[in-house]
């Protein structure tokens, strides 16, 4: 992956989540934007305008699912749960990769993968 933009209702909480699960660094930060980078992944977090923050438009209805390569699925899962996310299922193997779905604090369905 290269770069993905994710809209969020709580910028601080989402930045903490993505920094923890990706074991990344915050490259740029303002009141409405945070960039988290790590190992070829960059997440650009944008704060939703206030009038849209309570609308349930995420989760399984979202037509895309970003996939982030991580060094350790277990570390990413622990970090996700410690920072307001959840892990809804079990790990799966496809080819040379092991995968694990997660849900971020705003309800976005994302996926982690680790090379076997």
Quick one: how far is CA 47 from the chain centroid?
Answer: 14
Q: Give the strand pairing for 33-38 and 25-29.
A: antiparallel
pLDDT reported for residue 62: 67
Quick one: how far is CA 114 from the chain centroid?
Answer: 15
Query: Could you tell me if 22 and 41 are in contact, meaning their C-beta atoms sit under 8 angstroms apart?
Result: yes
Q: Which helix (H) or strand (E) holds 99?
A: strand 97-103
Q: Is the pLDDT of residue 10 over 70?
A: yes
pLDDT tens figures, 28-78: 999 999 999 998 889 999 998 887 766 655 555 666 789 999 999 999 999
pLDDT tens figures, 71-103: 999 999 999 999 999 999 999 999 999 999 999
């Amino acid at each position: 992956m290269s770069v993905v933009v994710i809209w969020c209702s709580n910028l601080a909480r989402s930045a903490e989540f993505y920094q923890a699960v990706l074991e990344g660094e915050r490259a740029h930060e303002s009141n409405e934007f945070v960039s988290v980078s790590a190992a070829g992944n960059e997440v650009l977090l944008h704060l939703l305008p206030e009038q849209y923050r309570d609308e349930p438009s995420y989760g399984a209805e979202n037509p895309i699912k970003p996939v982030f390569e991580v060094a350790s699925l277990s570390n990413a899962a622990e970090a996700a749960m410690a920072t307001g996310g959840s892990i809804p299922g079990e790990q799966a193997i496809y080819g040379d990769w092991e995968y694990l779905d997660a849900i971020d604090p705003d309800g976005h369905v994302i996926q982690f993968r680790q090379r076997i």
